[in-house]
Amino acid sequence: MLSQERLSGSHECERAWVEVDLGALAENTQQIKGWLAPETTLMAVVKADAYGHGAITVAQTVLKHGASSLGVATIPEGIELRKAGIDAPILVLGAVTMPAQVRAIADWHLQPTLSSVKQALVFSNYAENLEAPLDVHLMIDTGMARLGCPAEEGFQFIDFVRRVPKLRIVGLYSHFAAADAPNPQLMYQQHHCFETILREVQRANIAIPQLHLANSAATLRDRSVHYDQVRVGLALYGLYPAPHLRDIVPLRPVLQVRSRITLTKELRPGMGVSYGHQFVARRSMRIGVLGIGYADGVPRLLSNRMEVLLRGQRVRQVGAITMDQMMIDVSDFQDLQEGEVVTLLGEDGQEQITADTWAETLGTISWEILCGFKNRLPRIPVDQGFYNQPY
């Protein structure tokens, strides 16, 4: 059961919100760091607003508990962290190609990913006027067919960039396409490809301080691919990339989604609920209206296919989920009060619903679920408590 604490002096939790369990985040960070060799560092991937958890708060927490650097997808994401006073190394994982972007990289002391000679020349043209060299990471495409220099041109690319004035190679990496698959064949093909390039680099006596290859799945799966650093996203947030990776490191979900019951009403047999009457009452029943909908990140395709938690019990959702609201069957709670808290994702008593639950129902992945929660849902640190009192 949720505690009876009440939020005072704020309207943030009147409708719906996301709770971020910083204790779970700290524990996950420490568990993952403990799984690594002492010389292997942890890059926390905080792109997409830290997978919907709130990038600044997450970054501050993971850096305090074992992470050494951060990964983002875009320059604005990196700038947001710098403006918050975070001075750890920040790698921009996405493509950077415009001169204005290079200027921002330099001004905010971010580390870009370079994937081509053309891209390196864009950086070189700007960097020649800088006093200090720009730190860059080079990416090799070993089988993802996304960003990165083609593997067959990998050594030539590395050799070219190391000769470019004012560019300093601080990292070399690639990205696995299927490290979470039950059959690791593709993962090890990519690993072999990366190793082949590294042997050429070593023969040429090219020193690169940080080699990194492993994402969350590879980090959990095989220490032989850890190298100098691992890049971990999903696992930090307490979810596993695949079921067969669950027993390696204990993790706790960090994100919980709550909403309040804003109204209750009685239905007669034959009454339809919500748009299109996708649900029709077969008996007298009572429903509760929640102040959360698909505009907040609850997929409309979950309509009539999901459950929520109320007073530690599972309750079914009924009718089409609308933009700002959804309905649940509260017939078994005759003393229910408007303002009580319902858990969409998270724990209540002995019951738990996770992003994996929704993902399995929808045939998608938990990453997409986490990233779907919109900014109009405030992020509340869990140490402010759960709120289960009426308004």
Which parts are annotated binding residues for substrate? Answer: 146, 323
Binding residues: 146, 323
Catalytic residue among 47, 51, 294, 387: 47
C-beta neighbour count of 268 within 10 angstroms: 9
Q: Does 166 qualify as catalytic in the annotation?
A: no
Backbone phi and psi for residue 244, each to the nearest 5 degrees, phi listed first: -75, 0
The question of whether 387 is a catalytic residue gets the answer no
Q: List Cα–Cα distances, 157 to 61, 133, 165, in angstroms.
A: 36, 18, 15
| Helices 75-83, 99-107: inter-axial angle, 10-degree rounding | 20
Give the DSSP H or E segment for 82. helix 75-83
Q: What are residue 168's phi and psi, to 5 degrees?
A: -120, 120
Residue of 64, 83, 265, 275 marked catalytic: 275
Q: Are strands 90-95 and 69-72 parallel, antiparallel or unpaired?
A: parallel
Asked if 12 contacts 358 with a C-beta cutoff of 8 angstroms, the reply is no
- Dihedral over Cα of 303, 306, 309, 312: its sign: positive
Contact, 255 vs 344, CB < 8 A?
no
- Token code pair at residue 165: 């004035």
Rg of the Cα trace of the chain? 24
Residue 162 burial by Cβ neighbours in a 10 Å radius (0-12, 13-18, 19+): middle
Contacts of 302 (CB under 8 A, 6+ apart): 317, 321, 358, 361, 362
Joined tokens for residue 135: 């730190």
What is the spatial distance between Cα 275 and Cα 279, in angstroms, rounded to a whole number? 9
Phi, psi at residue 366, to the nearest 5°? -65, -30
The residues annotated with a catalytic role in the active site are 47, 275
